[in-house]
Amino acid sequence: EAQVTQNPRYLITVTGKKLTVTCSQNMNHEYMSWYRQDPGLGLRQIYYSMNVEVTDKGDVPEGYKVSRKEKRNFPLILESPSPNQTSLYFCASSPPGTGLTGELFFGEGSRLTVL
Amino acid sequence: GDSVTQMEGPVTLSEEAFLTINCTYTATGYPSLFWYVQYPGEGLQLLLKATKADDKGSNKGFEATYRKETTSFHLEKGSVQVSDSAVYFCALRRQAGTALIFGKGTTLSVSS
């Protein structure tokens, strides 16, 4: 089944404790992206990647890191989480060559709480 | 900068009522426009899209027409069902970039 898989789905952690949210897609998509969803703010892009070893900042990259060593994986790293990073996070991917018109395929989301 | 504005929710309707969720955008160039739907506890999924002016996207009884003159992409459905209860997001993808810019979402609640 074609899908984007995120883990963990739920996590409660404490300020400053490094964590990684994994994202994997099995559709051979080149483009991958991370969003956070907050009440009243909608979805905002954190980072995106056009292909392996190519990443770039989105609208709200502060406090986050990403890597793209393999095509299928795009982990989101919080080196020192803070309470303002409490949010619902979504990973998404897009097929190659679709450019402007291609849809995004979303994972089911990871709800992170930082105490 | 580019942006998407959606009507505030929640929108509460009875089954079989007519639905309109307004969406307007600000963007340079000729963006593609999308409606995504998020059911409770799930990720977003594409509902419909339109890639040029006057295009109509449609799916599952929902429709939206890309109106460049009014910079709008309103979502409509003639007869809603309880199963349509979800959060609906209007979005655009800039012509020269890769980011999908979302509106804040509109919650629809349909009762029987």
pLDDT, tens digit (0-9, with 9 covering 90-100), for B48-86: 999 889 999 999 999 999 999 999 999 999 999 999 999
Q: How confident is the model at residue B98 (pLDDT cuts 50, 70, 90)?
A: low
Residue B87 burial (CB count, 10 A)? 19
Residue bearing the bigger pLDDT, B40 or A25: A25
Mean pLDDT of A83-110: 85
Q: What is the pLDDT of residue A8?
A: 96
Question: Can you give the pLDDT at residue A101?
Answer: 61
Residue B96, pLDDT > 50, answer no
Instruction: Mean pLDDT check: name the lowest of A28-32, A57-61, A94-98, B107-111.
Output: A94-98
Interface test with B, best of A3, A25, A43, A111 (most B CBs within 10 A): A43
Residues in chain B: 112
* pLDDT value at B112 more than 70: yes
**CB contact residues (below 8 A), chain A span 6-65, against chain B:** 31, 33, 35, 40-45, 48, 50, 58-59
Using the Cα atoms of residue A49, residue B104, residue B91 and residue B82 in order, give the sign of their dihedral.
positive
DSSP strand E in A26-72: where? 31-38, 42-51, 54-57, 65-66
Q: CB-CB: which of A42, A103, A106 is closest to B43?
A: A106
